[in-house]
A and B are shown apart, each in its own frame.
Chain A
């Protein structure tokens, strides 16, 4: 029955990989089929010009080498979102670089009627296609039996079963793919018959020779046609009084009528007692009290995982690399190379690898939530609340994740399909107080608030800490609210979303997701983090001319040797070296700018160094106050508390200065890793730059106001 059009002729295939595109509705199990077909041979990139994830992978079907591309989920070839425009462009644009040789349509067998809508449109586009019926077990439960041979005859394309969740029956698909696949001879809906025009002009303008392709392209012409062609189409349609919307509606009705006929011939339904499990689960999970309670517990678990559980492997990574650094210091001759390696590169690597446990754990949880169908219910119960702030129901996960760390949290914003809501979420997530702020908060709070002071029977220190977290949360929500007016998009925010059936998670697929996410983070954001880390090292390790030599000379005199111990001298040298380094100079340069906030040059230096990670603030303070051992926060605090302001003669760290500094750390984007990951996720330096500036402005203003009032 198949017209065996040989694609590219077989001998060509051995030279060039066969391009296979996976297409299907959201929730059709397309991505798990992709994971099964490609395993860990995946590459994640972006489609040109947009921030939609492009997943490709290599696979072998017999002697055929294939490049598989996982296209964003779509419901039809009439795109309604950026995701769908991508799939439409790849399928319909004759000059798209990703134009596939074979399209694999993945269909949810338990809802064949709806899945066949997209499938029959692709058949009418006259591209070589295969239909894969996924989730047969779900269809079985519904009592639906599908005769795939009859279906194949009706559609004119090969039809195979696959159960991507259980990895069984993938063989049938790979066998079909190892043979040349042809174009169906069938036309399911002839749009030429539905309208007054025959699309001859449209075919010419769109440079295609198939009526349905011309129809599909001319319904969404602006996606890839040039402006002059769009205009030509418009004129041609006006001339013939062509009513686009009416013909599209008529196509949908005729298509479903044709599908109804096909289904009648190919499926049989045996009555089964309908399972009440899903309905009961929905009743509980979407309940007005229980629903939120359960979601709170789930969030608590996720939070525990990325906050507490990941602390062990993070500690191990840090200690391991620190050990390596110590070992290398002993091994290598002292000099610039050893210094660069041990103080620039290894800390940079630590700064990258330290995020691995959090990213892996957060994505494992997200994969489980998505897989089981629970994420759709979270969206459902959170949508109204989050929409008020210009966010999405799914924004809750990145926002809560941000309390542990903004880096994995921002990556997790990928689950938000609406571009604008995703951008707003990414932009405000770093305002949530992350765990790296905690050491800074506790040090400064202990410095300015006596530990025995209480407020309403609670420790004042504890209340202040809680307040700082609340300020972070409130400012994130308010910023989101304001930002929705500035971030413009032509994409309309739809919430028409399928509520998938509850299912058990696919563990092997979760493993792949964890590895993939970690890999892309280390390879893309990781590079930027290492480079910035080396830059920060260079700034702190070098000074103009021979300032360092002079410092060492100064402390080598007998006068100092007699008065101070070896360790004290080393600490003093470190402090003075940092002061005379480029970082120190920079800190003194910005001192006039930050003095309205109550900050001196030492704080200025710490602000620069803590750009590596906020908690570095504590270490830098330790160096500047010649404490040496940064582990010992108690002595850092004592030294800071004893420090005297040379101008006022009073304490340097007054309540006003401390509080102003606390507010600065609440708001400022003092984190190179966040900047790197925002760049990675948005593919544009514009976004991290705007974020850095607006958060910096918030920090400066609030610190200025607080200091002016309190001093």
Chain B
């Protein structure tokens, strides 16, 4: 933004300058290590609570301790998709490059958490319900969510022109976000109607407070990690996309 525009804004509203990749780049660089540090601290705390404070579960024994990564991963997978779709929408509405870059930066981390939710869910299912994959509503929805993430990333990878890739991905992300509730409810219906007498795959019915605390701490740990990873990745994307601009040339030139 030109200085004239900045002066025209009322006092105190200077956040919009961070909509420019050039100003956001150092901000992201400054914030990311903090989020990473918070993530490390919370991971240690959460795992400590999960393994050393939370008691053994009466029904599932020690196997239940997987929930301290399974549930946070599942929640993150959904939250990140929502945030990704949000930035995609902002990018389409206001035609801001950085919003699209942020959406692209979030996708791989979101896919990672989705995969972890599926993997840990399978490893939890085997000892608890006897089968690696039970086609229950939540796991099946997670699987479809993974396909939605991959579709977004594949579409952007297939398009050479970055602007077209941004906008096409954004449309896809928004279509996906509208469909997620529909997918979830139809899969839930599919599951209940087909299950019949099978076991209901809900998590442990009553959770001790320590278990809940451990889970919550882990959720925040994953959240902080996701923010750090996304900020680092968006910095890479900014450098890649803006490499012809003067500020990037100066920045990279100075580093050598």
Chains A and B bind each other? no
Residues of chain B having any CB pair with chain A under 8 Å: none
Interface residues of A (CB under 8 A from B): none
